Structure 1
Amino acid sequence: MVVGLLRTYHSQGTNGEIWIGGEFVCYAIELPWLDNVRNNSCIPEGIYVLGKRYSKKFKWHVLVKDVYGRSEILFHPANDARIELRGCIAPVSQISGIGRGVQSVAAFNKLRDIVYASIDKGEQVLLEVLKKGE
């Protein structure tokens, strides 16, 4: 399965759309693109393997594996990229501004359930990050 993240870049943050199999799943918010600087930038465009991960802070969430120069890049709930993210990706139900959204927990749970169902069936799940319009 391929999870597509189609991004629109802004100087203050990155907004995106998440699609799976031609179906819109939710929106996403991220930090702006700042040359992949740890804790300050969204991750580079490319293809990544997704996996399950558990932490005390975020409970069960989605890990983006093998991001060049980065570690522990996750999909997890957040509504304001500048305040709540350090390079991770937050699914949101609606975009409310640049790098900002609402109802992140609902969007995250929807995405996590789809990703986990595929992983549980033994399928590889890939994240393809692209600039919107490409």
Structure 2
Amino acid sequence: MKSLDLLRIEQGEDGTFGVLRLDGKAWCVTLEPQDLGNAENVSCIPAGRYVCRRVHSPHFGETFQIADVPGRSHILLHAGNVAGDTRGCVLLGRRFGSLEGCRAVLDSGRTVAEFMAELAGEDEFSLVVRDVSREAA
């Protein structure tokens, strides 16, 4: 089973920004909601180790779901650009930027398609989420 790491490098009102590593190499950037204590639909998930499983979302199509998040369900990796595009999920993008005055991840649709192609044939993978911005403080 492949192992991926999500390294959260910045947290604040604009969201939680990170880098997703695949096989130990930076692969893309991420955006999640800010940390609001794992509150459903409005917060990022707690740091920890998770299993992600391939699912079909009626809204986002084929993607991966982060399983066994305490008190939460339907946490997906999907396309989106700004924190308002996620209800607790992880957005994937090629680079950080801004859209209409909001901090964002850009080229998200293409990045998700490339991510799914990269994981073709994989039904699940291990994901370690680390809050490196807090570790450094």
TM-score range, shorter chain: 0.7 to 0.9
Q: List gaps (5 residues or longer) in structure 1.
A: none
Q: What is the aligned residue count? A: 129
Note closer, same or farther for the CA distance 1:89–1:100 as it changes in structure 2 (3 Å cut). same
CA drift of 1:99 comes to 5.4
Code of the residue aligned with 2:95 in structure 1: it is: Q
Q: Please give the alpha-carbon distance, in whole angstroms, between the structure 2 residues aligned to 1:58 and 1:88.
A: 12
Q: List gaps (5 residues or longer) in structure 2.
A: none
Q: Please give the alpha-carbon distance, in whole angstroms, between the structure 1 residues aligned to 2:72 and 2:23.
A: 28
Q: Please give the alpha-carbon distance, in whole angstroms, between the structure 2 residues aligned to 1:90 and 1:99.
A: 13
Q: Which residue of 1 aligns with 2:54?
A: 52
Q: Please give the alpha-carbon distance, in whole angstroms, between the structure 2 residues aligned to 1:11 and 1:20.
A: 27
CA drift of 1:90 comes to 0.5
Alignment of 1:1-134 (within 5 A): 1-7=2-8, 8-81=10-83, 83-97=84-98, 100-119=104-123, 124-132=124-132, 134=135
Local SS of the residue matching 1:3? strand
CA drift of 1:12 comes to 2.6
Q: Please give the alpha-carbon distance, in whole angstroms, between the structure 2 residues aligned to 1:106 and 1:117.
A: 19
Structure with the higher fraction of residues in strand conformation: 2
Q: Please give the alpha-carbon distance, in whole angstroms, between the structure 1 residues aligned to 2:87 and 2:94.
A: 20
CA contact (8 A) 2:4 2:24 kept: no
Code of the residue aligned with 2:71 in structure 1: it is: G
Note closer, same or farther for the CA distance 1:99–1:38 as it changes in structure 2 (3 Å cut). farther
CA contact (8 A) 1:52 1:116 kept: no
Note closer, same or farther for the CA distance 1:67–1:116 as it changes in structure 2 (3 Å cut). farther
TM-score normalised by length of structure 1:
0.88
TM-score normalised by length of structure 2:
0.86
Higher deviation after alignment, 93-102 or 12-21 = 93-102
